Amino acid sequence: MTLPRSDFGARYADGTPLTPKFGRFYPANWFSTSDRRGWFPSVRCTAASPIGLTVDARHPLTGRALILSTKVVGTLSDPIERMPIDWLSDLATGPGMQACHQGQPTEFLDEKSYRRPDEAPDPQFYAPARIVAHIDSRAQRILGAVYNEIIPEDGLVLDLMSSVHSNLLDGQMMGACYGLGLNGQEMNKNPVLSGAVVADLNSKLDIPFVDGIFDAAICTVSIDYLVDPVRTLSEVARLLRPNAAFAVTFSNRWFPPKVTRLWTELHPFEQMALVVQYFETAGGFTEIETRSYRGYPRPVDDPYYRQMSTSDPIFAVIGRAAG
């Protein structure tokens, strides 16, 4: 449907007008039109001009082939007081948003996309060691299972933007894992790393390893801090052997001073779409796929158990090196 351009009056936090972009999703309540019956909670911009705005207000899975299956992954032996989970609501909010519109790339970027609240050199911010887990233990196990799928036995692994945890399964079969990150003290306490390189990918873009050396690469809850992510993914493609997998994973939290502006504006499923676009623009990757893991019970020993009933969500984009 086409609406008057004046029906969209959204602004950034600093008060500047927000210009709608092709392929992007925007909350339905940002539109002043009086009749939004049947609209999906987020609607997609499919065309924009100074006088009009065309949007697709249908569910983003509309017109796409869908296979829905269920699997019992476990039972709770003890009664736990929790709020019920509306699975149909979860299905209706997100899936499909990671796909581009009619095969055309989404217009994500502008001159402010990679600006950050704190533009000081990153090594200053990351100098204090943070010996903590950034996601809950169940989310860590989910990550471990994802990584276990892509890491070959005896394989050489690159943990990009590494820290104190690589989130691999206990007893993960692999040859060795090398970390590259900003804090040497954190990586020195990471029990799975065979070696570590301290490097700032936002200032020194080349990754100091030889071509085609790694059998897998992972980047955990860090892609949102890169100011030139396409260049970084190009470097990862250079480092991987043919058909080696690179998994970029993230959740719904970040360090506010260092996260890029664009990332904070996107729905998590749009964030996956953005990362897919990074893979495609970087080149050198095939078989790119997206995954989401949501709604798992939060561990009862987690410090935020009383405030949040579900585990931290995990979103993954995985591609394989061409060749």
First to last CA, the chain: 43
Structural domains of the chain ordered from first start: 1-69 (2.40.10), 122-321 (3.40.50.150)
CA distance 319 to 248: 9
Sign of CA dihedral 134, 158, 146, 95: positive
Question: Which CA distances in Å does 313 have to 3, 16, 64, 105, 218?
Answer: 35, 31, 24, 26, 17
CB atoms within 10 A of CB 26: 20
| pLDDT value, residue 78 | 60
| pLDDT value, residue 79 | 56
| pLDDT value, residue 77 | 65
Question: Which CA distances in Å does 161 have to 99, 196, 248?
Answer: 27, 10, 11
| pLDDT value, residue 5 | 87
| pLDDT value, residue 321 | 98
| pLDDT value, residue 194 | 96
pTM, entire model: 0.93
Interhelix angle 268-282/229-239, nearest 10 degrees? 60
CA distance 237 to 81: 46
Taking 70 as the pLDDT cut, the residues of the chain under it are: 34, 76-85
